[in-house]
Structure 1
Amino acid sequence: MILLLMISVGLIGANSLVLSPIAAEVASGVGAERTSDVMTAAAIYGISVALSALFFAPRADKVGPHKALETGLVLILIGLGFSIAATNLTVLSIGQGVVGAGAGMALPAIYSLAAIISPKGQESRTMGMVLTGWTLSMVGGVTLSAYVADLIHWRAVFGLLGFGSLVILIVLLKASFPPHVPATKVTSPISAVQVPGILPALFSVLMLGTGFYGVYNYLGAHLTDALHRNVGEAGWLTLSYGLGFGAAMLFDPWLDKVGPRRGLLAVFSGLAIYYVGMSAWTHSYAMIVALMFGWGVLQHLGLNLTVSRLSRLDPSQRGAVMGLNSTTMYASVFAATVLYRPGYESFGINLCLWISAALTLMGAAEALWARTSRTQPEKSV
C-alpha cells in the first residue's frame, strides 16, 4: 500500500515540477515571447491545486480518501490531454489548471491514506516513505523529462505522464483499501480552520513552500538565461535534488522522536543558512548541482514535519485539514511564481534566494514561538 501511494505521489509531483526544466522548449512550442512566460501555466496549476484542495478535499471525509484519489487521477488525465494538444499559452494554462484540480483532490487523499495505514508512533517514518515519491518524480520523472524534451519533444513529456497516471489509476481501481468510516459531521474549510493549532501549522507550510518554489521555478530560466546551458542539463539539478530528498528518508525515524516543532526549528534555520550559501555559487553550474543534494535533504525533512504536524491535529477532519495543507502549499506555488518574477527579471536568481532565506527565518521564528508558548493545545506535535 505504501509503495502504491509513493508511486502516486511521484506521478502527481512530476507534473508540478516538470515545467521549470523544460520551460525554454515549451515557450518555443506555444509561441511565448520569453521563457519565464511559461511559468504563468505553472502559477495557474498552483492556484488550481489550492482551490481544488480547499473545496473538494473535504469530500474525502465522506466518500473515503481512496475514492477521492481515483477521481483526482481522472481529472489529471483530462488536463494532460489538453497540455499535449496545446498550441498556445492559453490552452496550456487551461490544461495545467485541470491537472491542478485533480492534484488538489489526489494529494490530500494520499496523505490521509498514509496517516490511516501508519503504525502508531511511526507516523513520520510512514509519511517519509510516501513522500519519497517526490524523489521518484524528480529522479525518474523530471530528470528524464528534461532529456525527453531535448531529444524528442516536450509534448512527449506530458504523454509519458499521462500514460503513467492511467496505469496507476487502473491499479488503484483493483486495489483493496482499509474500510472507510464516513465522518459523522459535515467537514469543510470553515470547520477545518477552527481546529486548534492549525493556523500556525499552515504558516509553516506557507513559508516552506514559498521559499522552495520561489527559487525552484526560476532555476531552469537561470540556467538558460544566465549560464547559457541547454534544457537537458537542467536534469542534473533535479537528479541531485531528488537523490538528496530520497536520502533524507534515513533521518525520518529521528523526526518521530523530536516532534514537528523542534524539528521545524532546526530545519527552517538550516534552510535559511543554506539559501544564503547557495547565493554565493549561482555563477557555477557544477556547484549548483552539488548544492541541490543538500537542499533536497532539508526540504524532505521540512515537508515531512509540516504534513505530520497537520495530520495529527484532528483525525475526524483529516481530509479537510490535509486539503488546507495542499491549498496553502500550492497557493505558495502561485505566490512564489508571481511575486518572485519581478525580482528574478531585475536582479536574477540571487534575490530569489535571499527572499527565501528571509521566509525560512520567519518559519524558524514560528517554530521557536510554538515551542516556548504555554498556550499551544496540541502537545503531541
Structure 2
Amino acid sequence: MIILLMLSIGLIGANSLVLSPIAAEVALGLGASGPADVMTAAALYGAGVAISALLLAPRADRIGPHKALVQALVLLLAGLGLSTFAPTLLVLTAGQALAGIAVGMALPAIYSLAAIIAEPGKEARTIGFVLTGWTVSMVGGVTLSAYIADFFGWRAVFATLALGLLAIFAVLRATTFPAHTPAANPTSPISGLRVRGILPALFSVAALGTGFYGIYNYLGAHLTEHLSRPVSDAGWLTLSYGLGFGAAMLFDPWLDRAGPRRGLLAVFSALAAYYTLMSGWAHDYTALIALMFGWGVLQHLGLNLTVSRLSMLDPGQRGAVMGLNSCVMYLSVFGATVLFRPLYEMDGLTLCILASAGLAVLGASEALIARLKAKRTLEPSL
C-alpha cells in the first residue's frame, strides 16, 4: 500500500514540477512570448489545487480517502489529456487548472491514507516513505521529461504522465485499504480552521512552500536565459535534488523522536543558511548541481515535519486539515510565481534565493516561539 501511495505522489508530483524545466519548449511550441508566460499555467495549476483542497478535500472524511483518491485521478487524467493536445496556451492553462482541481483532492487523500496505515510511533517514517514519491517525480519524472521534451516534444511529456497515471488508477481501484469510519460531524474548511494549533502549522507550510517554489519555478528560465544552457540540462539539477530528497529518508527516524516543532526549528534554520550559500553560486551551473542535493535533503525533512505536524492535530478531521495543508502549499505555488517574478526580472535567481532565505528565517522564528510556548504550558511538541 505504501509503495502504491508513493508512486501516486510520484506521478502527481511530476505534473506539478515538470512545467518549469520545459517552459522554453512549451513557449516555442505554442507561440508564447517567453518561458515566464508559460509559468502562468503553473500559477493557475497551483490556484486550482488550493481552491479544490479547500472545498473538496473534506469529502475524504465522508466518503473515505481511498474513494476520494480514485475520483480525483479521473479528473487528473482529463486535465493531462487536455494539456497533451492543447492548441494554445489558454487551453494548456485550462488543462493545468483542471489538473490542479484533481490534485487538490488527491494529495490530502494520499496523506490521510498514509497516516491511517502507519504503525503507532512510526508516523514520520511512513509519511517520509510516501513523500519519496516526490523523488520519483524528480528523478524518474522531471529528469526524464526534460529529455523527452528535447527529443519528442513537450506534448509527449504530458502523454507519458497520462499513461503512467492510468496504470496507477487501475491498480488503486483494485486495492483494499483499511475500512473508513465516516466523521461523526460534517467537516469543512471552517471546522478545520478551528482545530487547535492549525494556524501556526499552516504558517510553516506557507514559509516552506513559498521559499521552494519561488526558486524552483524560475529555475528553468534561469538556466536558459542566464546560463545559456539547453532544456535537457535542467535534468541534472532535478536529478541531484531528487536524489537528496530521497536520501533524506535516512533521517526520518530522528523526526519521530525530535517532534515537529523542534525539528522545524532545526530545518528552517539550516535552510536559511543554505539559501544564503546558494545565492552566491546561482550563476555557476556545476555548483548548482551539487547544491541541489543538499536542498533536496532539507526540503524532504521540512515537508515531512509539516505534514506530520498537521496529521497529528485532529484525526477525526484529517481530510479537512490535510486539505488546508494542500491549499496553503499550492497557494504558495501561485504566490511564489507572482511575487517572485519581479525579483527574477530584477536580478535573476539570486534575489529569489535570498527572498527564500528570509522566509526560512520566519519559519524558524515561528517554530522557536511555538516551542517556547509549549514548554511554558507543558503542551505536546506538535
**TM-score, scaled relative to structure 1:** 0.99
The answer to whether the 8 A contact 1:13-1:134 is kept is yes
Q: Does 1:283 align with 2:283?
A: yes
Distance 1:54 1:209 in 2: 17
Distance 2:272 2:218 in 1: 18
Q: Is the contact made by 1:60 and 1:319 (CA closer than 8 Å) also made in structure 2?
A: yes
- Could you list the structure 1 runs, at least 4 aligned residues long, displaced by more than 4 angstroms after superposition: 374-378
Which residue does the alignment assign to 1:148?
148
1:245 aligned partner, one-letter code: F
Counterpart for residue 6 of structure 1: 6
CA distance in 1, matches of 2:138, 2:378: 37
Unaligned runs of 5+ residues in structure 1 are: none
- The AA in structure 1 aligned to 2:380 is K
Write the deviation string for residues 199-227 of structure 1: whole angstroms up to 9, x where unpaired: 00000000000000000000100000000
Corresponding position of 2:271? 271
Q: Counterpart amino acid of 1:369?
A: I
- Provide the C-alpha distance between the structure 1 equivalents of 2:152 and 2:89, rounded to a whole number of angstroms: 20
Q: Is the CA contact (8 Å cut-off) linking 1:112 and 1:318 kept in structure 2?
A: yes
User: What letter is aligned with 2:27?
Assistant: A
* C-alpha deviation, 1:378, in angstroms: 5.3
**Aligned-partner residue type, residue 31 of structure 2:** G
Taking a change above 3 Å as real, the CA distance of residues 281 and 308 of structure 1, as seen in their structure-2 partners, is: same
Taking the TM superposition and a 5 Å limit, the aligned residue runs for 1:174-323 are 174-323=174-323
CA distance in structure 1 between the aligned counterparts of 2:377 and 2:357, rounded to whole angstroms = 26
Give CA-to-partner distance per residue, 1:256-295, whole Å, 9 cap, x none.
0000000000000000111110011111110001100000
What CA deviation, in whole Å up to 9, does each residue of 1:111-136 have, x standing for no partner? 00000000000000000000000000
Secondary structure of the 1:32 match is coil
Offset at residue 59 of structure 1 (A): 0.5
Corresponding letter in the other structure for 1:247: A
- The reply on whether 1:102 has 2:102 as its aligned counterpart is yes
Q: Deviations over 1:354-376 (max 9, x none)?
A: 10000010000000000001476
Q: Which residue of 2 aligns with 1:43?
A: 43
Per the alignment, do residues 378 and 185 of structure 1 end up closer, same or farther by CA in structure 2, a change over 3 Å counting?
Answer: farther
Q: Which whole-Å CA distance do the structure 2 matches of 1:346 and 1:356 have between them?
A: 15
CA distance in 2, matches of 1:238, 1:291: 11
Deviation at 1:235, TM superposition (A): 0.4
- d(CA) in 2 for partners of 1:35 and 1:108? 30
Q: Distance in 2 between matches of 1:72 and 1:27?
A: 28
Q: 1 CA distance for matches of 2:28 and 2:79?
A: 20
Report if aligned partners of 1:197, 1:378 keep a CA contact under 8 Å in 2: no
- Aligned residue in 2 for 1:373: 373
Is residue 2:98 matched to residue 1:63? no
Matching residue's letter, 1:127: I
Deviation for aligned residue 1:377: 8.2
Summarize deviations over 1:67-114 as a string: whole Å, max 9, x none. Answer: 110011101100011101112111010000000011000000000000
The 8 Å contact of residues 2 and 130 in structure 1, kept in 2 or not, is answered as yes
> Could you say what the CA RMSD is over the residues aligned between the two structures, in angstroms?
0.9
Give the number of equivalent residue pairs.
381
Report % sequence identity. 69
8 A Cα contact 1:132 1:246, kept in partner? yes
2:350 alignment counterpart: 350
Q: Deviations over 1:114-169 (max 9, x none)?
A: 00000000000000000000000000000000000001110000000000111000
Matches within 5 A, 1:80-159: 80-159=80-159
Decide whether aligned partners of structure 1 residues 376 and 47 sit closer, same or farther in structure 2, where only a CA change above 3 A counts.
Answer: farther
Kindly tell me: are residues 263 and 157 of structure 1, through their superposed partners in 2, closer, same or farther at Cα, counting changes over 3 Å? Answer: same
TM-score (norm 2): 0.99
Q: In the alignment, is the contact (CA less than 8 A) between 1:272 and 1:358 conserved in 2? A: yes
Whole-Å separation in 2 of the counterparts to 1:44 and 1:30: 17
Contact 1:196 1:378 survives alignment (8 Å): no
Distance in 1, Cα, partners of 2:296 & 2:22: 20
8 Å contact 1:197–1:377 — kept in the other structure?
A: no
In structure 1, C-alpha distance between the alignment counterparts of 2:377 and 2:129, rounded to whole Å: 29
**Structure 2: stretches of 5+ with no match in the other structure:** none
- Deviation track 1:284-341 (CA, whole Å, cap 9, x = no partner) reads 1100011000000000000000000000000000000000000000000000000000
- Distance in 2, Cα, partners of 1:209 & 1:282: 20
Contact in 2 for aligned 1:370/1:376 (Cα 8 Å): no
Quote the Cα distance in structure 1 between the aligned partners of 2:67 and 2:355.
39
